[in-house]
Amino acid sequence: MEVKSSIWGSVLGHDVMLYTVYTNSGLEVSFSNLGASMVAIRLLSDDAEPLNLMYGLLQPNDYLKANYYPGVIVGRYANRIATAQFEIDGQLYQLSANEGNNILHGGIKGFSSRIWETVMMEEHNGVCLLEFYLKSPDGDQGFPGNLDVWIVYQVTDDNQISISYRAITDKATHVNLTTHGYFNLAGFKSDVLDHMLYIDAEDYLPVNSELIPTSELRNVDGSPFDFRKFKAVGADIDLVGDYYDHCFALRGHDINNPSVKLFNPNTQIGLTLYTTQPGIQLYTPIKRPNVRNPMIPLPDNGNWAVCIEPQHFPNSPNTNHFPSTLLLPGQEYNHTSIIAISLGGID
């Protein structure tokens, strides 16, 4: 395993770092302290061009212009909160709405656009550890409490990427963190409709016209949301509309059992996700990115990527029967997800 670090650029007078890990089994993974982001996952081989498995951008300033959160850590609250407000102990908190009347992925200036502090970068015994830290002050985007956040990435020589999220607060607040990766196991040379997908979920969350959950947990049986057995992403997508953008309630959310499996039958590349989070947001974007990477040509049609975002449910602060996202002083927000890349098939 080899690890390299360099200054990638500058944002608002701060150095933006790029850290790249090369595993002995042919994976190249890059990270940055801008948005504590995963910038690239590329599969290397001796006889072909590296294959991009995750979409990332070329320059730090591109990330500040992009409106689709490629590869970044989003927070304080991933996904949507209706009317950009919630109550805690009878006090109403108004948040920074950035999608109509709602707040998406942390607000106007969420964690994805911040420069994080690099706490640690080290490699030993076939494991690379990279830790980022961010302090979010009381009132940040309207959220109460001073929040300390740590993200720890671990990359192993057997092509696993572990992402640990930890946070503490000095005042009751809501926290929901995730990684917003755009995956295409064909290297973005074709759409993802032929990718085979498995999601360990009995229920999904129907949404209204603003993509806010209706508060119902609906069984997937007999619906286009049933991925309990491997099924092509595009098999039933016409019954949903043009794309998926829905949260699934995971059955086990046990770090030792797979929550999501994604497989491309043409490249024989697989991705398995393990998580302790209770939900997965499935998103297959139709819109072209507003900021592009010219080194990664996209297919002409939509559904150019699969986003599988481990998280708590959208609008949980306003939905009592959803798993709580309330974090109290003295408690610790602590979740882990693992992305495992495999070649030649998937179990």
β-partners of residue 341 are 271
Catalytic annotation on 180? yes
As given in the structure block, the two tokens for residue 95 are 């948040």
Query: Catalytic: which of 105, 174, 253, 309?
Result: 309
Distance of CA 328 to the CA centre of its chain: 24
Cβ(317)–Cβ(86) below 8 Å: yes
Spatial CB neighbours of 241, under 8 Å, sequence gap ≥ 6:
none
For residue 34, give the 3-state DSSP assignment: strand
β-bridge partners, 213: 207
Check 180, 195, 246, 253 and give the catalytic one.
Answer: 180
Tokens of 19: 């850290």
Q: Is 71 exposed, middle or buried (0-12, 13-18, 19+ CB in 10 A)?
A: buried
Q: What token pair was written down for 286?
A: 């139709």
203 vs 271: CA distance, rounded Å: 22
Which residues are identified as catalytic? 180, 309
